[in-house]
Chain A
Amino acid sequence: MRGQYSEEKIKEALRPCHSADAALNRKLIDYAKEKEREEELQKSGVMRMDLRRRFATAAAAFAAVLILGTGAYAATQYFSLDFFASRNDGPKLTEEVKQMIEEKPEVTVQKTEGSRDILNYEVSEVLCDSRNLVATVEISVKEPDKYFVFTGTDDVVTPMEILQMGIDSMDTIGTYCKKRGMQPVLVDVDCFDEKTGRLLSNSLASTKYTSPGKVTYMFSANRLTADREFVMGLKPTVCLFDGEKQVAIYRDDLLEVQVKDKSTEQTAFYEPEKKEPVEVAGGNSYSIDRAELISTEVGSYLTVDYTWHGEKSDECQIFWTLCDADGKEVSRNPLVRDGGCEWLGGKHWQSKLEFVNIGQPDVIHIREIAEDGGRVITLKKKK
């Protein structure tokens, strides 16, 4: 078919026609509502009643503390943080880090209106420092003959063999359940800081299906406060399906998890070995103004402030990766997020890198992520 180019056709073809799922929009509106409420409470200087009780009384006379059971699939297989850390060629956790992991932390359940008693949640492990929080949660169905839990929206239409659930079938989850009179149950869990009401994580780092009735989630979230003890909130959203079609959605009970930050932190400042600006494509250049490295047992965090010289272009936004002197990438950390780059105003930018704990070395090498391969920058620790 031969087509005739026209502006009108381009515009018509690109007319916005995809909408987000109603559940996703509902979730966003709920967050806005909660944030608004938290801000009002903070402005009036009133802490939420339940938070005040929790901080005041470790024995929790008012709050009902429930240690949640693991349900019928207890301990068939356990996927630990160490397992997730070493996936995709990541390094195993050191003994130092393992000692910091809180196993089965204290959890309080807040009943949510409209929740249904279909799922068990067990927070297995929590690990954090001032920057990141990582946790594993085991989610299992209470009635494995009736319900089938899964995690990704597209999984319900994916052949089960591909999902590596231990079921050798090319049926999708939807079809498999339909044949057996079971109901697929999609779970999505958001993690937030209860004190500020702010979201820590809205996407999963990794999941592993233990069996059709059980899945392990691993979260990785950037922390927004540096409290040594805090409460992490986990809010599950549950969608029920009939075959491959979503038929109901609800918020499950809120889980409030006591978290302790046991990490220690070291800070050092670095400067580029070469003082002159770094030349990049297009006759432009940049100069590194400041580099700060914070290291904890969980990971190392490098913040690089730089000034862009020259014309505005896509290349203003620079990303680096930690590398050796030859430019080869080293020390990826599957438990933390990799960072990003933000515009600070004018010609000033800030790029952040996160990787495994490297301590406070005298020299760091970072390489630009660029189409031309990027330049290796050597940073030396300031005395």
Chain B
Amino acid sequence: MTQETMEYYIKTYGTELYSFCMFLTKNRQDADDLYQDTFLSALEKGEIREDENPKSYLISIAVNLWRNRTRKFLWRKKKVDFVDSFEEMDFEQIADESVPADTKLIREEEALEIRRQVARLPEKMRLVILMHYMEELSVEEIAAILHVPEGTVKSRLYHARARLKENMEGVV
């Protein structure tokens, strides 16, 4: 991978990949490590094939690295209060001048609650939700990355959506 390619990938996919790492790891320090390791691993592996989706490729590396860490270090994992982490982070929102200020506030509160609920999903459900909604990967792509059948991905998406719906429409 050339310097030019690295710059292009960071510019094109950096925010998506980093956000994905943040949701996986739940804290900025671990997200930095995972993000960095993902790109360095991609650098070691060389150029991405022409028929391969670069974003999908980078996400698959991140997922594999993260799984290596969390599965191996289950009993040593630091516990971070996800809610605190997110509330301290700046929410870089695209300004929408047409939306009244009080409506924006409600939307931000709702968005924060959705992120909390996603963070509380079991790992398997959380992964597919992030890959589908945040990274906009297809069921086929997700199945290939996770090494599971497409039916399993669909099933997890279904159950994850049901749980989110139940939690969101409950009293907050």
Contact = CB atoms under 8 A, between A and B. Distances in A.
Interface string A266-280: 000000000000000
Contact of A32 (B5, B113, B149, B170): B5
Nearest to B93: A17
B118 to A, nearest CB: 7
Interface SS, A side? mixed
B146 interface: yes
B72 A18 contact: no
Interface string B155-168: 00000010011001
A14 B10 contact: no
Given A10-B114, A24-B32, A343 B164 contact: no
Contacts of A10: 114, 118, 129, 133, 161, 164
B72 A13 contact: no
A18 B29 CA distance: 13
A2 B172 contact: yes
A350 to B, nearest CB: 12
B73 A14 contact: no
Interface string B123-145: 01000011001100000000000
A19 B15 contact: yes
B19 A16 contact: yes
Contacts of A16: 15-16, 18-20, 134
Contacts of A317: 67, 71, 147
A19 B14 contact: yes
Contacts of A316: 147
Interface size class of A (residues with CB under 8 A): 35 or more
Contacts of B130: 14
Interface string B25-66: 000110111011101100110000000000000000000100
B169 A153 contact: no
Contacts of B92: 17-19
Contacts of A15: 134
Nearest to B67: A317
A215 to B, nearest CB: 17
A33 interface: yes
Given A14-B130, A18-B89, A312-B147, A202 B37 contact: yes
A166 to B, nearest CB: 23
B99 interface: no
B14 A25 contact: yes
B25 to A, nearest CB: 11
Contact of B19 (A18, A27, A35): A18
Interface string A323-342: 00000000000000011111
B138 to A, nearest CB: 15
A61 interface: no
Interface size class of B (residues with CB under 8 A): 35 or more
Given A32-B6, A314-B146, A153 B29 contact: yes
A363 to B, nearest CB: 23
Interface in A4-36: 4-5, 9-21, 24-25, 27-29, 31-33, 35-36
B112 to A, nearest CB: 8
Contact of A3 (B10, B64, B129, B169): B169
A154 interface: yes
Contacts of B169: 2-5
A203 B73 CA distance: 16
A362 to B, nearest CB: 27
Nearest to A349: B147
A12 B111 contact: yes
Contacts of A153: 28-29, 32
Contact of A319 (B22, B72, B168): B72
Given A15-B134, A339-B72, A341-B68, A5 B15 contact: no
Contacts of B106: 1
Given A17-B92, A341-B68, A28 B10 contact: yes
B104 interface: no
Contacts of B171: 2
A277 B103 CA distance: 59
B98 interface: no
B71 A319 contact: yes
A1 B106 CA distance: 9
A98 to B, nearest CB: 26
Contacts of B29: 152-154
A24 B36 contact: yes
Nearest to B127: A314
Contacts of B15: 16-19
A17 B89 CA distance: 10
Contact of A340 (B14, B43, B72, B113): B72
Given A18-B18, A18-B92, 13 more contacts: A1-B109, A1-B172, A5-B169, A9-B110, A10-B118, A19-B92, A20-B18, A31-B40, A32-B2, A202-B36, A312-B152, A314-B146, A343-B64
15 contacts: A1-B172, A3-B168, A10-B161, A13-B111, A17-B93, A20-B14, A21-B32, A24-B35, A28-B6, A36-B2, A203-B36, A312-B147, A314-B148, A317-B147, A319-B68
